[in-house]
Structure 1
Amino acid sequence: MRPTDLAREHGLSTQAVRNYEEAGILPAAARGPQGYRLYTAVHAQALRTFLALRPGFGHGVSARILSAVNENAFEVAFRLIDEGHAALLRDRRTLDEVACALGDLTAGPPADPDSLSIGELAHRLAVHPATLRKWEAAGILRPARSRAGHRTFDAAAIRDAHLAHQLRRGGYPLARIAAVVAQVRSAGGAGPLEEALQTWRARLDARSRAMLTGAAELAVHLRLS
């Protein structure tokens, strides 16, 4: 097969096919009498495999997987695949934790007063006041100040503290909690984030399907290699 034969199947340019070979995604091609590249069914399947893996694993990791297979470094390729699935599982668990925390928040603690002091809020959450100060330093909490300079937490700040407490119990780092709380603030509460969570879950499902499709093509490639 010529470069144009491989390119035509996927709507690629012949230069893109050559670039994939130079990157190690395709095995090195033999050359004809006039120096033209000669591709085989193995090259065609390698290209199909790369393009199938890319939606689930990304361009860089997919290229590394194919390069490893082409060098017979199968353990390296399998490890990259395992790491991709492990990362997807971590993302799913993160999504579940966020959804659970937001669900708890929507269900809500008992009706809050207009404001709480740092000691009162710490007591409600069963944490030390120093923990709340640490969350404030991380940008998670934004308490107001009384005339005497004491921290006061209004309903929104109490909500943020409850959410942070739930996520912290789930093992979230403070930087990620701050990002989630910022989303809740910008959305005006936890309710509007439900659509975002559904979109997030749909993206994860799409990645799972793409990984399965890529794995099927890789299995074919391994049989041909």
Structure 2
Amino acid sequence: MEKIRPIDIAEKLKISTSSLRSYEERGIVPKPERSSTGYRIYTEEHVAYFECIVAMSPGFGMDITSAVLKKLQRKELDAALWIINKAQVVNYEDKMIIERVNKYLENLTNEPTMTTGELSLQTNIPASTLRYWEKEGYITSKRGELNNYRLFDLFQLIKVLLMKITQNAVYSNEVIQLKQEIKELNQHDLEEVRKVIHDLQKHINKRNQEQLKGVFYLYKLFKIVNQQ
């Protein structure tokens, strides 16, 4: 079996050797053997694991990538695939949110009609998260005249749904920027609202393609592991 130096893997994947060690410490790759002088001895199997991490993490994030590769090391393929499947379902649900938001835009009203609880039910976002988003300025409410309850209009519902998409995304500078754009949205500037929706749709499409690439490398790794 060919033995490969860490520096060669790092250069090939454009990552640092410390990243390789970090992945090993997290248990995402099998423990390599050591030479008589204590150096790590990597094989083609390790290379496949590292390639898979680099390919999967942009579309799935490190938490999901780690969970999947730990399952694969234990040869629990079905369990690993269901984790992947669940993540892809979430991406499809985000696509449906975009379609839902576009329909709301066609019938936009300014009348505040939803309480925090009702908004939570409509969006499947916990009330505590909605209160936090309001505190941070992502959404705003008006107070009811009779009971002083927080009330939200349809535009705030739209903003919550857009924020929900960023919740499902892999953390990145792009996602930070999208959240800021959502925060600054004004319902009287529908052109900007549509631009942000378009940017989110592009982000979802990109994530879909990144996930496809990740699954491809996962399949390549599975074939190697399955031969053992």
Q: Distance in 1 between matches of 2:115 and 2:17?
A: 56
Structure-2-length-normalised TM-score:
0.67
Q: What's 1:213 paired with?
A: 213
Q: Sort the Cα spacing of 1:43 and 1:163 in 2 relative to 1 into closer, same or farther, 3 A.
A: same
Alignment RMSD, CA only? Answer: 3.6
Work out whether residues 45 and 221 of structure 2, in 8 Å CA contact, stay in contact via their aligned partners in 1. yes
1:132 alignment partner, one of 92, 113, 116: 113
1:84 alignment partner, one of 82, 87, 97: 87
Give the partner amino acid of 1:203.
H
Q: What's 2:160 paired with?
A: 176
Q: Structure 1: where are the runs of 5+ without partners?
A: 113-120, 122-130, 152-156
Q: How many aligned residue pairs are there?
A: 183
Q: Distance in 2 between matches of 1:91 and 1:150?
A: 35
Task: Give 3-state SS (helix, strand or coil) of 1:198's partner.
Answer: helix
Deviations 1:32-67 (A, max 9, x none): 232221111111111111110011101111121112
Q: What's 2:199 paired with?
A: 199
Q: Where in structure 2 are the equivalents of 1:10-21 lying within 5 Å?
A: 10-21=13-24
Give the partner amino acid of 1:103.
E
Deviations 1:137-169 (A, max 9, x none): 978753786xxx899xxxxx9xx74557xx6xx
Q: What's 1:189 paired with?
A: 188
Shift of 1:134: 3.2
Q: Distance in 1 between matches of 2:34 and 2:81?
A: 31
Q: Distance in 1 between matches of 2:6 and 2:147?
A: 72
Q: Where in structure 2 are the equivalents of 1:64-143 lying within 5 Å?
A: 64-105=67-108, 132=113, 134=115, 142=142
Q: Distance in 2 between matches of 1:81 and 1:67?
A: 13
Q: Structure 2: where are the runs of 5+ without partners?
A: 120-133, 135-139, 165-181
Work out whether residues 136 and 142 of structure 1, in 8 Å CA contact, stay in contact via their aligned partners in 2. no
Percent of aligned positions that are identical:
20
Q: Sort the Cα spacing of 1:92 and 1:190 in 2 relative to 1 into closer, same or farther, 3 A.
A: farther
Deviations 1:60-94 (A, max 9, x none): 11121112112212222112101110111111111
**Which protein has the larger Cα radius of gyration, Structure 1 or Structure 2?**
1
